[in-house]
A and B are shown apart, each in its own frame.
Chain A
Amino acid sequence: MTSSETVKPAKPGGLATKTLVLTGLTIFTGLVLAPFLVVLLNAFKSSEDYSQGGPLSLPSAIYFQGMIDFWNRVEFGEKLWNSFLISASVAVLAVIISVLNAYAIGIGRLRGRTAFLMFFLLANLLPQEALVYPLYYLSKQFDLYNTRLVVIIILTAIQAAFGTYLLSSVFRDFPPSLLEAAALDGAGKLRTLIRVVVPTSWPTLSVLFTFFFIWTWNEFFLPLIFLIDNDLQTVPLALAVLQGQREVDITTTAASALLGIVPAVLFFLIFQRTLTRGVMSGAVK
Chain B
Amino acid sequence: MFRTRKMGVVAAALAVTASLGLAACGGDSGDEGDSKTLKLWHYESPASGLGIAWTEAIKQFKASHPGVEVVFEEKGFEQIRQNAGMILNSNEAPDIMEYNKGNASAGLLSKQGLLTDMSEEVTKRGWDAKTPASIAITSKYDQDGIMGGDKWYGVTNYGEYVMVYYNKDEFKKLNLEVPTTLAEFETVMQRFKDAGKTPLAVGGAEYPAQQIFYQLALSQANTSFVDDYQLYKNKVNFQGPELTNGANKFAEWVSKGYIAKDSAGVKAEDMGVSFIQGNAPILISGSWWYGRFSEEIKYDWGTFLFPGNKLNAGSGGNLWVIPSSSKNKSLAYDFIEITMKPEIQNLIGNSGGVPIGADPAAITDAKNKELIENFNAINTANGLAFYPDWPAPGYYDVLVGGMQNLINGSKTPQAVLDEIATPYNDNLASLGK
Contact = CB atoms under 8 A, between A and B. Distances in A.
B27 A89 contact: no
A146 B23 contact: no
B241 interface: no
B2 A199 contact: yes
Contact of A73 (B29, B46, B100): B46
Interface stretch (A45-53, A160-168, A263-271): A45-53
Interface of B: 2, 5, 12-13, 15-16, 19-20, 22-24, 26-29, 43, 45-46, 73-79, 82-83, 86-87, 90-92, 100, 207, 268-269, 272-273, 276-277, 286, 288-289, 292, 295-296, 298, 318
A232 B27 contact: yes
A146 B83 CA distance: 12
Interface in A209-232: 224-225, 228-232
Given A229-B27, A231-B26, 8 more contacts: A85-B22, A93-B16, A147-B23, A148-B23, A152-B19, A228-B83, A244-B77, A245-B318
Nearest to B81: A245
Contacts of B24: 147, 149
Interface string A235-265: 0010011111111111000000000000000
A34 to B, nearest CB: 18
B298 A52 contact: yes
A192 to B, nearest CB: 17
Interface string A121-138: 000000000000000100
Contacts of A111: none
A243 B23 contact: no
Contacts of B13: 92
Given A48-B296, A51-B276, A230 B74 contact: yes
Interface string A141-162: 0010111110010000000000
B79 A224 contact: yes
A54 B19 contact: no
Contacts of A146: 26-27, 90, 92
Given A88-B16, A247-B292, A147 B26 contact: yes
B77 A149 contact: no
Contact of B76 (A136, A149, A243): A243
Contacts of A73: 46, 74
A28 interface: no
Nearest to A140: B90
Contacts of A143: 28
Contacts of B286: 246
Give the most central of A85, A202, A250: most B CB within 10 Å: A85
Give the most central of A51, A143, A149, A248: most B CB within 10 Å: A51
Contacts of A51: 272-273, 276-277, 292, 296
Give the most central of B13, B78, B276: most A CB within 10 Å: B78
A224 B78 contact: yes
A148 B2 contact: no
Contacts of B295: 47-48
Nearest to A248: B269
Contact of A245 (B16, B46, B77): B77
Given A148-B23, A232-B27, A250-B269, A224 B74 contact: no
Contacts of A237: 76, 79
A226 B85 CA distance: 13
B12 A228 contact: no
Given A145-B90, A224-B82, A248-B269, A88 B15 contact: yes
B342 to A, nearest CB: 26
Nearest to B275: A51
Contact of A241 (B16, B23, B75, B288): B75
A199 B6 CA distance: 10
Contacts of B20: 89, 149, 152
Contacts of B292: 47, 51, 247
Contacts of B74: 73, 230, 241
A253 to B, nearest CB: 11
Nearest to B273: A51
A52 B296 contact: yes
A92 B73 contact: no
B384 to A, nearest CB: 17
A50 B87 CA distance: 37
B277 A54 contact: yes
A92 B23 contact: no
A250 B2 CA distance: 49
Interface in A46-92: 47-48, 50-52, 54, 73, 85-86, 88-89, 92
Given A51-B277, A73-B46, A92 B5 contact: no
Contacts of A199: 2, 5
A249 B47 CA distance: 12
Given A146-B90, A232-B27, A243 B73 contact: no
Contacts of B83: 224-225, 228
Give the most central of A47, A136, A244: most B CB within 10 Å: A244
Given A51-B277, A225-B86, A246-B288, A148 B26 contact: yes
